[in-house]
Structure 1
Amino acid sequence: MTMEQQAHPVQPEPPAENPRSGPLISVRNLSVSYNLARTGTTRVAIEGVDLDVQEGEFITVLGPSGCGKTTFMNVIAGLVKPTAGEVLIDGVAVTGPGPDRAVVFQDYALLPWRTVADNVRFGLEMQKKLRGAGWRERVQEAIELVGLAGFESSYPRELSGGMQQRVGLARAIVAQPRILLMDEPLGAVDALTREVMRDEIEKLIAATGKTVVFITHSIEEAILLGDRIVVFKSHPGAIKEVITTDIPRPRSERSVQSDPRFLELRDHLWDALQGEAAAAARTSGA
């Protein structure tokens, strides 16, 4: 059963009573540097990044390996502190993790001694949202939304990679964050599962209305999922360009693979990333 078939119990969250004007996420002159004790040098991971993300937008972040995409996401998540600049959520500076954001990792990060239901419940435990009635229903709704009804008592070792990633998605959405931060969430699954899950993530976001920052190495994935594509350049990481996708939803690889706009974007992004990969190789002396 697909996420779309399971999605009816959960409705998008109502908007705030007095919504702020302006972007939900504001990144201002963001830079992150690391001191390398072994060599006594400093490595600049990202430098001078500026970006606004509107509520309900699906932003895909694309770039060569080592360009700082994950560092960028971790600053938004509150897991990494900036060296300079800031990230604002609804006008408030990010100083650490918060209940308005949830992260979906590439490697699932499930607790192997916990069942599916208990792993999903962990999302509420982390946000201290187990008080009061209704949390069991929220856990069940999240499990149904990602198409795992019937697997509540299964352990991670009993699930395929795609099913484990669905558990990770359910754990992220159960606490009803406004923002989902997804770091290569489909990078560890096979090609067929990746295509199926990509389509279902699009349906999931349509059903919940979340704001998403989604990191990927896949050009096709960036186009198929993103309202806008943020292209990073390497060494140090910075935004090279931001592209509006302009392809009607829903999108699947088979339905858009002959669309002129899809082909135009794919060729443009391929050229951009090929140039960045060549520049990175020259910088590293490869």
Structure 2
Amino acid sequence: MTVRESAPMTETSERDESTAAEPLISVRDLSVRYNVARTGNTLTAIEGVDLDVREGEFITVLGPSGCGKTTFMNVIAGLVAPTTGSVTVDGKPVTGPGPDRAVVFQDYALLPWRTVFDNVKFGLEMQKGLKGDGWRGRVQEAIELVGLSGFESSYPRELSGGMQQRVGLARAIVAKPRILLMDEPLGAVDALTREVMRDEIEKLIAATGKTVLFITHSIEEAILLGDRIVVFKSHPGAIKEIIETRLDRPRSERSVQSDPRFLELRDHLWDALQGEATAAAHSSSTKTRATKVQDG
């Protein structure tokens, strides 16, 4: 059975047609290449990527290590410039970081000398959002949304990994961006915390209506969180397929693990990624042998 779907999923099909016709994020023929000074070669990180993301959509991005997922996200964030192609947000070209986009990193990236309150406040400082009297309330609201009330005066070293990631999430949402870009945000926490955080992220996004691009190496996580799953292939990075999940929300691993659709998606994605990982390993081995011959 073919898993890839071209029709919109149930939730998005009910949206206004004009919204569906005008994506919030539009990526066209995107390529990123780097010059490697040590070898004099050019590395193609991603090539020929096209993607439209609707407002309020949760997109999970899945692929083998080194396939360009993070580079793709960084271009949308405005942290990396495309070599060719374009990225627009709400019809405007992305030329750098902006207040409409916020990034949540895997390694938390908290300031160790700042308390929880002041780390979250930093999200407003970066956007110059400390004017007037309302900013303290916004910081407190973001802290409460991620379930950290009572820890405002704590320092990162006093928090668990999951709590530190909540601080990073609060810092991202405090400036009220339209888009959250999340790069393996749960990759550094234990399995139980990861499951809890997945559920809380889903609740948070449902409450705020944010548009999300979420990079993950976990097949189950991609299915549980995503409205659509974008599967990247490797060397160079490009979109292999885009899959509609079509699973009712809210979702948890326990509630959907016996759902035939979940099992179908999991098996399909496993086969797709296994094939890409094998191809990537073969490509790496071939390049290593070629380099040895040249150096020999």
TM range (shorter): over 0.9
The yes-or-no answer on 1:241 pairing with 2:241 is: yes
Return the alpha-carbon distance in structure 2 between the equivalents of residues 161 and 50 of structure 1: 35
Which has the larger Rg? 2
- The alignment covers a number of residue pairs equal to 269
Residues 99 and 127 of structure 2 are in contact (CA less than 8 Å); yes or no, is this contact kept in structure 1? Answer: yes
TM-score when scaled to structure 1?
A: 0.93
Which residue is 1:179 aligned to?
Answer: 179
Which residue is 2:10 aligned to?
Answer: none
Question: Structure 1: which 5+ runs fail to align?
Answer: 1-17
Which residue is 1:115 aligned to?
Answer: 115
Give the CA deviation at 1:284.
0.5
Which residue is 1:46 aligned to?
Answer: 46
Return the alpha-carbon distance in structure 2 between the equivalents of residues 64 and 126 of structure 1: 33
The yes-or-no answer on 1:255 pairing with 2:255 is: yes
Which residue is 1:128 aligned to?
Answer: 128
C-alpha deviations, 1:199-250, integer Å up to 9, x for none? 0100000000000000000000000000000000000000000000000000
Residues 257 and 263 of structure 2 are in contact (CA less than 8 Å); yes or no, is this contact kept in structure 1? Answer: yes
Residues 74 and 80 of structure 1 are in contact (CA less than 8 Å); yes or no, is this contact kept in structure 2? Answer: yes
Residues 62 and 231 of structure 1 are in contact (CA less than 8 Å); yes or no, is this contact kept in structure 2? Answer: yes
1:221 maps to a residue whose letter is E
SS at match of 1:230: strand
Question: Structure 2: which 5+ runs fail to align?
Answer: 1-17, 287-296
Return the alpha-carbon distance in structure 1 between the equivalents of residues 70 and 109 of structure 2: 16
Give the CA deviation at 1:19.
7.5
Give the CA deviation at 1:132.
1.2
The yes-or-no answer on 1:157 pairing with 2:157 is: yes
**Range with bigger deviation, 256-265 or 124-133:** 124-133
How has the CA–CA distance of structure 1 residues 20 and 284 changed in structure 2, closer, same or farther, with 3 Å as cutoff?
closer
SS at match of 1:285: helix
CA RMSD of aligned residues (A): 1.2
Give the CA deviation at 1:92.
0.4
Return the alpha-carbon distance in structure 1 between the equivalents of residues 240 and 21 of structure 2: 27
TM-score when scaled to structure 2?
A: 0.90
Q: Which has the higher helix share?
A: 2
How has the CA–CA distance of structure 1 residues 240 and 19 changed in structure 2, closer, same or farther, with 3 Å as cutoff?
closer
**1:141-220 pair list within 5 angstroms:** 141-220=141-220
Return the alpha-carbon distance in structure 1 between the equivalents of residues 19 and 59 of structure 2: 21
Residues 123 and 171 of structure 2 are in contact (CA less than 8 Å); yes or no, is this contact kept in structure 1? Answer: yes
1:90 maps to a residue whose letter is D
SS at match of 2:230: strand
C-alpha deviations, 1:81-133, integer Å up to 9, x for none? 00000100011000000000000000000000000000000000000111112
Residues 20 and 90 of structure 1 are in contact (CA less than 8 Å); yes or no, is this contact kept in structure 2? Answer: no
Residues 106 and 184 of structure 1 are in contact (CA less than 8 Å); yes or no, is this contact kept in structure 2? Answer: yes
How has the CA–CA distance of structure 1 residues 266 and 20 changed in structure 2, closer, same or farther, with 3 Å as cutoff?
closer
Return the alpha-carbon distance in structure 2 between the equivalents of residues 230 and 109 of structure 1: 26
How has the CA–CA distance of structure 1 residues 197 and 75 changed in structure 2, closer, same or farther, with 3 Å as cutoff?
same
